[in-house]
With several copies, the nearest count.
Chain A
């Protein structure tokens, strides 16, 4: 079995983003999905801090620190993009104007509950940012994460034990070994890397998994 690296995961997510989609990419790993969106497709990247039509990073030395993304990295604006204030930006999310948001996660439950903002450890300073708004607002929320923690525990779980970001909000989980659908009827496997069997995934995750290999190309 060959696990996908982070670049391959990003490319895999990018493949499922159709032309014309309004997309918000969360900070960290999901941000890299932008690098794999085909340049011949009009895909609209939204950033919570008030821009639509976000372009790639500027040439080094030409950063404008008043043109940044949610991760506070310098970005650019595509021709046809525009700026707006924070209330309009979160209206875009909360009312389902954003088609797809891609988020990282600590844990996702088979029913689509998401935990990605707080470890709940004593002494940890919590910070939520836009995660809760994105998770429950977008038409579809994709999670992108390695399936296992460094300790080898599955991040796809029966029920999240970390504090929740949102209930039943995730529809699909892209990992380094498989793509899952999650939701009210539990989890299904849509794709696996070569050399992996569904039984292996059941062992790795410890959760019931349907075979749902019917993802349209």
Chain B
């Protein structure tokens, strides 16, 4: 019997190593897998390359990971925010490398990795600083930039419900990068509000098929009415 559920966030992230590339889901705090990130900080792996839309908000999640000095490089679209002070400080101190990617290219490059493509020609960014030095091509009268897939060793994502085969459904706009990051990482770890019996998820409504998920942890139990 295959059961991808793991007893704790600590156990789920135990094999993340120094230097790993780690995708972290979320758009701001919506969909950010906070318990997995806390476990990762406690676990101690450093020199990480983090792929996330932002570069941390406030004191928790990706911000805490940066504050703890675990992040060598971040690939993101929107690092500078009102409450991104931990990233700002590390960046100004030259302690963190930034690869800034337009958000749609970030999504497309992650999706390309999950789909096994070698590269894509995307129109976004053509003629801007963010395409400097990159190969470009005119196709059917429009200008495109060649962009490469973004792969990762691990993806840490947050979903609403999951089952022991790793099938996932999300909640509202907390879905964001979860489904495509799950496809792009070698090992995907999902924190879910509730692990449900196999068959509870409607097969027509599963958003992430279990093939893309290796481990599932249930976060602190929440009363049923709050997770419906």
The interface bits of chain B over 78-89 (1 if a CB of A lies within 8 angstroms of the residue's CB, else 0) are 111100000110
Given A92-B211, A136-B123, A137-B116, answer yes or no on A80-B167 (Cβ-Cβ < 8 Å). yes
Q: At the interface with chain B, which of A4-12, A144-152, A162-170, A205-213?
A: A162-170
Contacts of A96 in B (CB 8 A): 116
Would you give the shortest CB distance from B28 to chain A, in whole angstroms? 5
Q: Which of the segments B7-15, B37-45, B198-206 contacts the partner chain? A: B198-206
CA distance A92 to B81 in the complex (A): 25
Bound CA span A137–B125, Å: 11
Chain B positions within 8 Å of A53 at CB level: 165, 203
Total residues of chain A contacting the partner, CB 8 A? 58
How far apart are the CA atoms of A81 and B111 in the complex, in Å? Answer: 23
Closest to A113 in B: B127
Q: Are B1 and A81 in contact (CB under 8 A)?
A: no
Q: How far is the CA of A46 from the CA of B211 in the complex (A)?
A: 10
CB–CB A127/B81 < 8 A: yes
The listed residue (B2, B126, B167, B171) touching A136 by CB distance below 8 A is: B126
**Does A82 reach chain B (CB closer than 8 Å)?**
yes
Q: Is B154 an interface residue when CB atoms closer than 8 A count as contact?
A: no
A84 near B127: Cβ-Cβ < 8 Å: no
How many residues on chain B are close to A (CB under 8 Å)?
A: 71
Q: Is A131 part of the binding interface, using a Cβ–Cβ cutoff of 8 Å? A: yes
Contact of B178 among A52, A85, A126, A164 (CB under 8 A): A85
Which residues in A have some Cβ–Cβ distance to B below 8 Å? Answer: 19-20, 22, 42, 44, 46-53, 64-68, 72, 77, 79-98, 118, 123, 125-133, 136-137, 163-167
- Residue numbers in B under 8 Å from A128 (CB-CB): 77-78, 100-103, 130
Which 9 pairs show the lowest CB-CB distances between chains A and B? A133-B104, A94-B116, A90-B104, A95-B116, A82-B206, A91-B115, A42-B2, A127-B80, A80-B198
Residue of A nearest to B3 (CB): A42
Contacts of A127 in B (CB 8 A): 77-81, 100
Q: Which residue of B lies closest to A51 (CB)?
A: B173
* Cα-based distance from A48 to B198 in the complex (angstroms): 23
User: Which A residues are CB-close (under 8 A) to B31?
Assistant: 66
Knowing A50-B173, A94-B115, say if A22 contacts B211 (CB, 8 Å): yes
Using an 8 Å CB-CB cutoff, how does the interface string of B97-118 with A read, 1 for contact, 0 for none? 0101111111110110111110
Measured between C-beta atoms, what is the minimum distance from B127 to chain A in Å?
Answer: 4
